[in-house]
Amino acid sequence: MLEGRAGEKSRSKTMPVKKRKLNLRILAPAVVVVLAWASTAQAYIGPGAGFAVMGSFLAMFAAIFSAVVALFTWPIRYVIRAIKHRHAFARAKIKRCVILGLDGLDPNLAEKFLAEGKLPNFARLKEKGCFKRLATTVPSMSPVAWSSFQTGSNPGKHNIFDFLTRDTRTYMPKLSSVDIRGPRRNITIGKFQIPLGKADIRLLRKGKPFWKTLGEHGIFSSIIRVPITFPPEKLYGVQLSAMCVPDLRGTQGIFSFYTTRSEGDGEHTGGERFFVTMANNTIKTKLIGCSSPFRKDGSALACPFVVKVTGKEAADIRINGETRHLKKGIYSDWVKVAFKAAPGVKVKGICKFLLISTEPEFSLYVTPVNIDPEKPAMPISYPTIFSTYLAKRQGPFATLGLAEDSWALNEKFITDQEFVEQCTQIDAERETMFFDALDKVKQGLVVCVFDGTDRLQHTFWRQIDPEHPANQGRIPEGNVIEQLYMRMDQLVGKVVDKLNDKKTLFMIISDHGFSAFRYGVDLNRWLEDNGYLKVIEEKRGQKNLSAVDWSQTRAYAIGLSGIYLNLKGRESKGIVEPGDEAGQLRDEIAGKLGALTDAQRNQPAIKQVYNALKIFNGPYKGNSPDLLVGYNRGYRASWETAIGQVTDKIFHDNTKAWSGDHCIDHSFVPGVLFCSRPVVTENPRLMDIGPTVLEMFGVDTPKSMDGRALAVVEPDSRKATGNK
């Protein structure tokens, strides 16, 4: 049974009760002695008392000062707010709305575990309110789905169609939701440069999140880790960014692995492996950071560290002047690391160390270096101080968008148990900030998304699918997913107990469900086999579509579900004429691909291929892939397709730990909706949630939204508001 040990970890941080009582027994009389000392001695307390007095004096002064300011200004601000937002809550049916997002929670599995009596708190909610399937988006993946959730609209209006899109000039894949560029101007001095200004970070998701509309009506929101909120936008409330927040190196997460084992050095997907040598049980190496902003060649900054093996299962690591004790198999706390960029200039981040082994070979795993939330190198929250507040309140926490390092598991650098522990720790951090939001926001909106449900189902689906190729013929052991659902049920229980309030509407949603990912489909190979794509043979196998001969390619695939036409006037080397030729080509590819059968297993690989022009509406539908592939259960775009690599066959067994997925036809993977009140509307959709919340707060749904308010039954009444 694989379980996280976050509970044990938190217990070890508190002082035992016996020691606390002993300290008090010694200190209390000492305090009396000091205070009762002859008055002349008080003149000699000096700096000792000075430290005591100064620290607490300053804090006391700050408290008194802020209390005075608040007392004087709060009534004025209250009046201003009352006038400015006099209609806030005027038509509201609720005082507060709490939305708990459990990314990827699957309704089929939820039903199964409910029937087995393993989810008593979900069952309570279902009985008191409702449990329905929640239709997801096309395509059914998190960046698209959560964008539709936020904006209440289809992707044609919010501009997010996949994790990745392509640069139409270079065909290189790039993130679809954010564009990060360095400062526009630099002063160059030889091989050095001085950047002028900040990095240019732009959110590419369009549309207005529904909480901004709430804010315009004086309703406060706390938005915690909702995907596709980086960089954070201004709102009446607080927000912590999530998916696509980069690591300190500007990537979506590169781990580091240090080992004395010599084979297999270099880059791996999602990480880097470094060969190190040990002398006198000591290893000297360095952690790689971001590119230096002061060097023209952009060479990477490094932070040296020393590891001293102290036992069979222990080592000490010394980094930035501090020593940490590592035990085999146990993650360190978050360690602050500083990369020296220039004299007096440091770039700071945080990471965790995991000692894998000390003998016969030494191995050390280091998580991606996250942006330090206390002093973020780029904006990851609104207001900027919000991440500092959370860091001061609960300690450092994961800021990376895709914080759970599934690639380290995929590439077998960490074990199942170690990955589960990582996810559990991140969920524990999330839970702390979620409950803090519930404490702080008694009126308004609280939204918090947990990603662990998604990551763990992705990586442990093989445990509930005995025929999965990742099991390699063995009977799978373990019940990580069941444990996960039960842990989420406990979370739900805590939340329900806390929200003992009829004026609070509580919803649990997921952006999509889950299914097996047994076989990858190399779309580019299929396109090549069917004459739509031409490969430069000597470059076959190269990534990022660099093996493609564009002069003879009419369609190509990149990302997890999209096919693009090589359109003239849109792509830099386009050859397909827009208009009729493009339209015919779309239909032709859709028809042929829709009939694709996996001959080996004698089953269809594709359920449906969607024409983006027909399913999306809005100003940004032209940015979408031309065709969206709805895979059949068990199939998904291959790993190679996602990164623009053309292989030698169409179907590939997926043997990675990442064995479950949802980037298939949307009809197979709806999400869930649990609500504390009955919802009468049949077939609710994810994009309906925003309008529903607006309706419950008495705010009109903007016309730009495609979603409609769900009919929610009012408590102690059979009357339902919203659309049935």
Which of 69, 599 has the CB closer to other proteins? 69
Minimum CB distance to other proteins, residue 71 (Å) = 9
Question: DSSP string spanning 622-674?
Answer: GGS-SEEEEEPTEEEE-HHHHTT---S-SEEE--SS--EE--S-GGG--EEEE
Minimum CB distance to other proteins, residue 44 (Å) = 4
Minimum CB distance to other proteins, residue 212 (Å) = 17
Is residue 336 within 8 A of residue 348, CB to CB? The reply is: yes
Minimum CB distance to other proteins, residue 77 (Å) = 7
Enumerate binding residues for other proteins (CB under 8 A).
Answer: 27, 30-31, 34, 38, 40-41, 43-57, 59-60, 62-63, 66-67, 70, 74, 77-78, 81, 220, 238, 321, 383, 385-386, 388-389, 392-393, 395, 440-443
Which of 386, 658 has the CB closer to other proteins? 386
Which of 185, 442 has the CB closer to other proteins? 442
Minimum CB distance to other proteins, residue 220 (Å) = 7
Minimum CB distance to other proteins, residue 282 (Å) = 24
Is residue 248 within 8 A of residue 370, CB to CB? The reply is: yes
Minimum CB distance to other proteins, residue 395 (Å) = 8
Minimum CB distance to other proteins, residue 443 (Å) = 8
Is residue 659 within 8 A of residue 124, CB to CB? The reply is: no
Which of 398, 650 has the CB closer to other proteins? 398
Minimum CB distance to other proteins, residue 62 (Å) = 6
**Residues with Cβ within 8 Å of residue 51, at least 6 apart in sequence:** none
Closest CA to 402 of 577, 164, 236, 158: 164
Which of 1, 38 has the CB closer to other proteins? 38
The secondary element (H helix, E strand) that includes residue 145 is: helix 142-151
Task: Give the three-state DSSP class for 480.
Answer: helix
Residues in the chain: 724
Task: Give the three-state DSSP class for 285.
Answer: strand
What is the distance between the terminal CA atoms of the chain, rounded to a whole angstrom?
44
Whole-angstrom distance, CA of residue 441 vs CA of residue 95? 10
Minimum CB distance to other proteins, residue 38 (Å) = 5
Whole-angstrom distance, CA of residue 278 vs CA of residue 633? 49
Which of 34, 115 has the CB closer to other proteins? 34
User: Is the Cα torsion angle 409, 8, 309, 339 positive or negative in sign?
Assistant: positive
Minimum CB distance to other proteins, residue 393 (Å) = 4
Closest CA to 519 of 348, 339, 641: 641
Task: Give the three-state DSSP class for 127.
Answer: helix
Whole-angstrom distance, CA of residue 70 vs CA of residue 60? 15
Which of 57, 184 has the CB closer to other proteins? 57
Which of 71, 187 has the CB closer to other proteins? 71
Which of 47, 117 has the CB closer to other proteins? 47
Which of 59, 189 has the CB closer to other proteins? 59
Alpha helix ranges (H) inside 85-141: 107-115, 120-128
Is residue 107 within 8 A of residue 133, CB to CB? The reply is: yes
Which of 255, 389 has the CB closer to other proteins? 389
Closest CA to 105 of 682, 660, 664, 691: 660
Is residue 674 within 8 A of residue 488, CB to CB? The reply is: no
